[in-house]
Amino acid sequence: MRILSGCEALREGLRDALRRDKTVFLLGEDIGAYGGAFGVTRGLLAEFGPDRVRDTPISEAGFTGMAIGAALAGSRPVVEIMFMDFILLAFDQLANMAAKARYVFGAPWTCPLVIRTPAGGGRGYGPTHSQSLEALFARVPGLKVVAPSTPADAKTLLDAAIRDPNPVLFVEHKLLYSLRGPAPARTPSRREPLGKARVVRRGRDVTLVAWSWMTELARRAARELAATGIEAEVIDVRTLAPLDEETIQASVRKTGRLTIVEEGCRTGGFAAEIGFRVFEHAFDSLDGPLRRVTCPDVPISAAPALEHAALPSVRAIVQAAAALVRE
């Protein structure tokens, strides 16, 4: 293990995959000489050449469709969508083509496609460059949705996504790129499974469920809660689809209380889906109401004060969890 940034860990994961498997290639806007909007692919063009690190026109629907065709023909393309906001231009390709390919064509057809995309706020990019849209895709049958929260998971889960025979949406929070933490020196020979949550902190009083950058905030909130005598258990979902319900429910059965943290908007968010599944399967274990900490139903502003007011915070998580414990 070494200390890497999320950006460095992702770059290593891509490099390992390109070296290991000749069918892997990258494509997206400005991923070649420029190195990607956030520098993840920097240096890969010089190492692997333009046939395997391909700059594309500004046409998300076009190059996503091309990647789907390549995947069906036996390659393993890894697409970079520059901002998650722009993925809506390729929604038809992903929801109606990639996600349905195995169902429509049957064995032996597979669609081993990975879509990498930066999501979330915190950098003042404004309403059309700061959205968290993973809930839209988690409800599409046939798509897997992954959202790592650490450099280590960024590398190992990316490896698992590239090896997977199904289309995977790989959501990279912009603040993860600069987050530093331990990461494996090489991709492990044992593949990290998709669809498995992780208990990142043990606790007895309340369960905090989160993913992506919200897991980091939940960790910080748990430390503040511990200083007041409240021990929070933190669950990192890691994969929204398929969702590891068992790990979440086991924690709720122990603590009796649940707060879910999501950066996406409140209405129709994935936090509501998690909460209702807990309600369906672990209702008898609940000692209080379910709580959500989310972004309100507003666009994310470029103005720092307004952006800060809209996004979930450590303080908001602490207040929600503490109120639940003390009810």
* Per-residue model confidence as pLDDT tens digits over 235-255: 999 999 999 999 999 999 999
**For residue 163, what are the contacts with CB-CB under 8 A and spacing of at least 6?**
112, 191
Which pTM was predicted?
Answer: 0.96
Mean pLDDT of the chain: 96
272-299 mean pLDDT: 96
pLDDT of 253 reads 97
27 φ, ψ (degrees, to nearest 5): -150, 150
pLDDT of 108 reads 87
Record the tokens describing residue 313, joined without a space: 């915070």
Share of the chain above pLDDT 90, in %: 95
Q: Supply the Cα-derived Rg of the chain in whole angstroms.
A: 19
**For residue 132, what are the contacts with CB-CB under 8 A and spacing of at least 6?**
84, 119, 120, 121, 171, 212, 262, 263, 264, 295
Q: Is 134 one of the catalytic residues?
A: no
Q: With cut-offs at 50, 70 and 90, classify the pLDDT of residue 327.
A: confident
Is the pLDDT at 191 greater than 90? The verdict is no
List 8, 12, 60, 172, catalytic entry: 60
CA distance 145 to 228: 35
Does domain 198-326 correspond to CATH entry 3.30.1540.20?
no
Work out the angle at residue 149's Cα, subtended by the Cα atoms of residues 11 and 324, and round it to the nearest 5 degrees.
Answer: 175
The 10s digit of each residue's pLDDT in 110-147 is 999 999 999 999 999 999 999 999 999 999 999 999 99
Scanning the structure block, which residue is given the tokens 């000489």? 33
**For residue 311, what are the contacts with CB-CB under 8 A and spacing of at least 6?**
121, 122, 263, 295, 300
Q: Is 281 one of the catalytic residues?
A: no
Fold exhibited by the domain 2-183: Rossmann fold (3.40.50)
CA distance 112 to 167: 5
Is the pLDDT at 190 greater than 70? The verdict is no
CA distance 160 to 145: 12
**How many Cβ atoms from other residues are within 10 Å of residue 278's Cβ?**
23
Record the tokens describing residue 129, joined without a space: 């460059």
CA distance 275 to 280: 9
Share of the chain above pLDDT 70, in %: 98
The 10s digit of each residue's pLDDT in 46-81 is 999 999 999 999 999 999 999 999 999 999 999 999
| Cα dist from 83 to 64, 65, 256, whole Å | 14, 18, 38
Neighbour-count burial of 28, counting CB atoms closer than 10 A to its CB (0-12 exposed, 13-18 middle, 19+ buried): buried
Scanning the structure block, which residue is given the tokens 């990142």? 200
pLDDT of 1 reads 76
Work out the angle at residue 130's Cα, subtended by the Cα atoms of residues 275 and 170, and round it to the nearest 5 degrees.
Answer: 65
Residue 49's region, left for phi above 0, alpha for psi from -120 to 50, else beta, is: left
pLDDT of 188 reads 58
List 129, 172, 262, 263, catalytic entry: 129
User: Where do the structural domains in the chain lie, given as residue ranges?
Assistant: 2-183, 198-326
Scanning the structure block, which residue is given the tokens 């929604």? 91
For 305, which DSSP code? H
